[in-house]
Structure 1
Amino acid sequence: MTPSSSLRVFLGRHRRAVIAVPTALTVLIAGCWAATTVLSLPSPFSLIRLADTPPSQQGALFPARNVDASTKPAPAQKALQALPATVAWKDGRKDTRQFLTDTHTNAFLVLRDGQLTHEWYRDGVDAQTRHASWSTAKSVISLLIGQSIAEGRLHEDDLLVDLLPELKKGDAYDRISVRHLLDMSSGIDVSEEYSRIPLSGTPRMYLTTDLPNFIKDNRTLRFTPGSASDYRSVDTQLLGQILHRVEGKSVAALLQERLWQPMGAEADATWNLDSEGGVEKSFCCLNATARDFAKIGQLVLDNGRAGDRQVVSKAWIDRLSAPAATMADGWGYSAQWWHPSGATGDFSAVGIHGQYIYVNPAKRTVIVKLSDHGTQQDEQETIDAMRDLSQNLHH
Structure 2
Amino acid sequence: MTSNQLSHARMLLTLCSFCVALPGLAHAQDYPHADEPIGTVEDVYDGHLTPDLAVSTFRNIDRLFPTRTIPASQTPRDLPEAPVDLPGMVSYEVGDETYDLYDFLSLDNVAGMIVLKDGKVVYETYQRGNTPETRWMSMSVAKSVTSTLVGAAIVDGHIGGLDEMVVDYVPALDGSAYDGVSIRDILLMASGVEWNETYTDPESDRRDLLRAQIEQRPGAAMEVMAALPRAHEPGTHHTYSTGETQVLGEVVHGAVGMPLADYLAQKIWQPYGMEADANWWLDSPNGVEIGGSGLSATLRDFARFGQFFLEGGMVDGKAILPEGWTETAGQPQELTGGETIEYGYMWWPGWTEPSIADGAFAAIDIQGQNIYINPTRNVVIATHMAQPKPVGREPIDPLVVFDSIAAALD
Classify the TM-score, shorter chain: 0.7 to 0.9
1:118 pairs, out of 103, 112, 123, with 123
Paired amino acid for 1:378: E
Q: Structure 1 residue 33: deviation in Å?
A: 6.0
Alignment partner, residue 367 of structure 1: 381
Give 2:393's match in structure 1, choosing from 370, 377, 382. 377
Closer, same or farther: CA 179–106 of 1 in aligned 2, 3 Å:
same
**CA 1:359–1:289 in 2, change beyond 3 Å: closer, same or farther?**
same
Residue 360 of structure 2 corresponds to which residue in structure 1? 346
Q: 1:188 to 1:101 in 2, by over 3 A?
A: same
The answer to whether the 8 Å contact 2:87/2:102 transfers is no
Taking a change above 3 Å as real, the CA distance of residues 179 and 122 of structure 1, as seen in their structure-2 partners, is same
Hey, what's the Cα distance between the residues in 2 that align with 1:251 and 1:306?
Answer: 19
Matches for 1:24-35 after TM superposition, within 5 Å? 34-35=4-5
Structure 2 CA distance for partners of 1:150 and 1:379, relative to 1, 3 Å: farther
Find the counterpart in structure 1 of residue 105 from structure 2: 100
Using a 3 Å threshold, how does the CA distance of structure 1 residues 183 and 44 change in structure 2: closer, same or farther?
Answer: closer
CA contact (8 A) 1:354 1:369 kept: yes
How many angstroms does 1:381 deviate by? 1.9
Question: 1:166: which partner in 2?
Answer: 172
Partner secondary structure for residue 114 of structure 2: strand
Q: TM-score, normalised by structure 1?
A: 0.84
**What is the CA-CA distance between 1:325 and the residue it aligns to?**
4.8
The aligned counterpart of 2:23 is none
Partner in structure 2 of residue 203 of structure 1 = 207
Q: Does 1:63 align with 2:66?
A: yes
1:277/1:44 CA distance change after superposition, 3 Å: closer
Q: 2:382, 2:200 → 1: CA distance?
A: 30
- SS at structure 2 position matched to 1:341: coil
Alignment of 1:7-156 (within 5 A): 34-36=4-6, 49-50=40-41, 51=43, 53-54=53-54, 56-57=58-59, 58-85=61-88, 86-91=90-95, 92-154=97-159, 155-156=161-162
- Match status 1:237 vs 2:246: yes
User: What amino acid maps onto 1:205 in structure 2?
Assistant: L
Map Cα deviations across residues 102-150 of structure 1 (whole Å, 9 max, x no partner).
Answer: 1011110000000011110004101000001110011111111001112
Residues 210, 295 of structure 1: alpha-carbon distance in 2 compared, 3 angstrom cutoff = same
Name the CA shift for 1:341/1:49 in 2 (closer, same or farther; >3 Å): closer
Alignment check: 8 A CA contact 2:172 2:222 kept: no
On the 8 A contact 2:187/2:346 being kept in 1, the answer is: yes
Contact 2:278 2:298 in 1 (8 A): yes
Q: How many residues align?
A: 358
1:84–1:389 CA contact under 8 A, matched in 2: no
TM-score, length basis structure 2 = 0.81
Q: How far apart are 1:212 and its partner, in Å?
A: 2.3
The DSSP-based 3-state class of the residue aligned with 2:113 is strand
Indicate if the aligned counterparts of 1:188 and 1:232 stay in contact, CA closer than 8 A: no
2:164 aligned partner, one-letter code: D
Is residue 2:396 matched to residue 1:392? no
Change (3 A) 1:124 1:378: closer
1:48 Cα deviation from its structure 2 partner: 5.9
Say if 1:94 and 1:361 are closer, same or farther in 2 by CA, change over 3 A.
same
Percent of paired sites with the same residue: 30
Supply the RMSD in Å over aligned alpha carbons: 2.5
1 CA distance for matches of 2:193 and 2:272? 34
* Partner of residue 320, structure 2: 311
CA contact (8 A) 2:107 2:396 kept: no
Instruction: Deviation per CA, 1:146-201: give whole Å up to 9, x if none.
Output: 011122221211111122223111x653111100000110122232114542x541
Q: Name 2:372's counterpart in structure 1.
A: 358
2-structure distance, mates of 1:70, 1:181: 31
Q: Which whole-Å deviations, capped at 9, do the CAs of 1:23-52 have from their partners, x for residues lacking one?
A: xxxxx9xxx9615158x6666968964425
Distance 1:165 1:232 in 2: 20
Question: Do residues 215 (structure 1) and 229 (structure 2) align?
Answer: no
- Counterparts of 1:59 and 1:371, CA distance in 2: 17
Does the 8 Å CA contact 1:33/1:44 hold for their aligned counterparts? no
- Out of 258-267 and 209-218, give the one that drifted further: 209-218
2:30 matched residue in structure 1: none
Partner AA of 1:338 in structure 2: W
Query: Contact between 2:154 and 2:322, CA under 8 Å: does it hold in 1?
Result: no
Asked if the contact 1:106–1:122 (Cα under 8 Å) also holds between the matched residues in 2, the reply is: yes
